[in-house]
Amino acid sequence: MPELPEVETVARALRAEVLGRSISEVCVLDPKLAHLAGSALPGKRLLRVERRGKYINCHLSDRRVLQLHLMMSGRLLLRRTSDPADRFARVLIGLDDDRQLRFCDARRFGRAAVLSPARYREFDAGLGPEPLGRSFSSRLLGERLMGRRVALKSALLDQRILAGVGNIYADEALFRARISPLRPAGSLDSPALRRLHRALRHVLRASLALGGTTFGIYANAHGDEGAFQAMLRVFRRTGEPCPRCRTAIKRLLVGGRATHYCPRCQGG
């Protein structure tokens, strides 16, 4: 699933390309993904594009928000209207400069919807802080985890606690911080919180600089793949030697999610 760096990469491309453009038409090819019936999008201008957690939010001239979630296999591609059709296209959003936003999704888990201002505020309030935000500190991280007995890996994936972190970057940050994914989330002391805070911000920024991580599906708005997969130290490296201590990387399930870690460096 695209996580913070991948979704932010797409959002940045859209910010650079489509701000001020008007929607000329909307063609929903798969109603399962798009809840756009009666949304009256044609004629609305795209005033702002932002990422919140793993969501892309396009703020419209009528104060509503066109919200897109790529889920497991979604792509949001910016094409010329005359370009060849893309596989698995589910929604086509025409712009007034002869281009289209094409929401493609092989597995059909993605979502597109239009939110009222009130519904958007409700959505925003339901998400945790942004780990790359200016206000995100080790103290705030500790406050979000305080009193929680679930495994730390599960807490990091809870979007109500922290917005945008998924399986890849939780594993990579925990490895860099030398913390077990099985440790109770509320048990971290100040030094561990500082290590985890630093590791989260480092790995997210490093991935963002390389356009995110691609495992066969993810691509940016121009169809280019990310390159951070070459930098991964533990994720999907089961059985390979730890880059620090040479112990074999292990895989286990934490809260039903595949988790990769070094049993020596991280304990457990």
15 counts as catalytic = no
Can you read off the two tokens belonging to residue 158?
A: 């809870």
Catalytic residue among 44, 54, 79, 237: 54
Q: How long a stretch of residues is the chain? A: 268
Ramachandran angles phi, psi of 254, nearest 5°: -125, 115
- What DSSP string describes 37-63? TT---TT-BEEEEEEETTEEEEEETTS
Q: Rg for the chain (alpha carbons), in Å?
A: 20
Phi-psi region of 256 (alpha: psi -120 to 50; beta: other; left: phi over 0): left
107 counts as catalytic = no
Burial class (CB in 10 A: 0-12, 13-18, 19+), 58: buried
Catalytic residue among 244, 251, 257, 264: 257
| Strand extents, DSSP E, the chain | 23-28, 34-35, 46-52, 55-60, 65-69, 74-80, 89-95, 99-105, 111-115, 250-254, 257-261
In this structure, what is the dihedral angle of CA atoms 4, 9, 11, 14, given to the nearest 10 degrees? -170
- Single-letter amino acid code for the residue at 220: N
42 counts as catalytic = no
Q: Rounded to an integer, what distance in angstroms lies between the CA atom of residue 11 and that of residue 34? A: 19
257 counts as catalytic = yes
Place of tokens 């074999």: 248
Can you read off the two tokens belonging to residue 179?
A: 């913390």
User: Which residues are catalytically annotated?
Assistant: 2-3, 54, 257
